[in-house]
Amino acid sequence: MNSNATLEHLRNLLVSLGEHVRSTLIEQRGGFVSPRLAEVATVTASDTIYGIDALVEPAILKWLAENWPSSEAVELVMEGLEEHGPVAFPSGTALADTRWKLMIDPIDGTRMIMHDKRSAWMIGALAPQRGAETTLRDIAAAVLVELPTTKQTLVDTLSAVRGQGVRAHRVNLADKTRRPLKIEPYSGTEVAHGFSSLVKFFLGAKDRVARIEQQTLVHAYGPEAIGAMVFDDQYLSTGGQFYEILAGRDRWLGDIRPLIFAAEGWDQILVCHPYDVGAALLLEEAGCVIEKPDSSPLDAPLDTTSPVAWVAYANPRLADRLRGPLQKAITGELGQG
């Protein structure tokens, strides 16, 4: 059994790792965004790796080698490592001897931060090791650490141990002070005059997703929903989307790209993957609802390649109001629930 004290210690380590990634990024970019940060470094089975990713990934490996306790041996799952085989810490540890599996997205929102448009997020999720059987449902601790644009001075860090709620703080980068941050998701059931959306980043899928989004609201709120002011914010970062719900600014969000891409016969590389949703535990601990579009529990192997479709609601009452209409809209557009 993994004790609460052990999990709390490991949560603190994940926070320290995330804040090390942030410091490394800030230091390495030197106060400005160079065009080289947006250059393609390599293409892997999980994603396109840009120059900015290459700044922080070595820092993660070095930090784990120097700081992860040998008594809590861990397997690392992270994009960019696929071609190198299993990686464990302490170095040289056999996978069979690891106690934990750590899944990291070093920069979730690469395309935003490399152009200095909006914060990206480092995501870390830790689960007891069950080999290939380890899934999202096993995650016992998770962190979400903000990676700022060059003009930002305030950054947030959120973390959780399963069953212990969400802890959060805000750091002032100018004077290094930190203060507690209140996490308060939206508590109502209306969507008008607030932010809600389904992911529609790419050309070719926008029309189908928009129809599903619109029909969901019509089914839930009636034809008058067409004229309601429901704001759409396409935050190109799953961690960022989760943060917006936790902060109380977004009411429901979803990413159904795997369903849309499958219906179109497209490749599933440019969809959400397990390492993108590693911070789902934070939503659960804050009292939000996150699940598959068919309302079954959100689950997937802890890897960098499995497609993941998800929907998140700020609270259970809102989920009860919207999940049926969403499923009806998906069935109407794609012929599937």
CATH code for the domain defined by 4-180:
3.30.540.10
CATH of 194-334, one of 3.40.50.300, 1.10.10.60, 3.40.50.720, 3.40.190.80: 3.40.190.80
Where residue 49 falls among pLDDT bands split at 50, 70, 90?
low
What is the spatial distance between Cα 35 and Cα 55, in angstroms, rounded to a whole number?
14
Tokens describing residue 22: 């942030």
The predicted-structure confidence for 169-193, as pLDDT tens digits, reads as follows: 999 999 999 999 999 999 999 999 9
If one counts every other C-beta atom within 10 angstroms of the C-beta of residue 36, the result is 14
Residue ranges of the domains in the chain?
Answer: 4-180, 194-334
What is the spatial distance between Cα 271 and Cα 253, in angstroms, rounded to a whole number?
15
3-state secondary structure of 170: strand
Question: Do 4-180 and 194-334 come out as alike in CATH topology?
Answer: no
Pairing outcome for strands 100-108 and 120-128: antiparallel
The predicted-structure confidence for 273-325, as pLDDT tens digits, reads as follows: 999 999 999 999 999 999 999 999 999 999 999 999 999 999 999 999 999 99
Nearest to 5 by CA among 144, 140, 183, 145: 140
The predicted-structure confidence for 195-238, as pLDDT tens digits, reads as follows: 999 999 887 789 999 999 999 999 999 988 877 789 999 999 99
Where residue 38 falls among pLDDT bands split at 50, 70, 90?
low
What is the spatial distance between Cα 317 and Cα 187, in angstroms, rounded to a whole number?
8
Q: Residue 90: is the preceding peptide bond cis (ω within 30°)?
A: yes
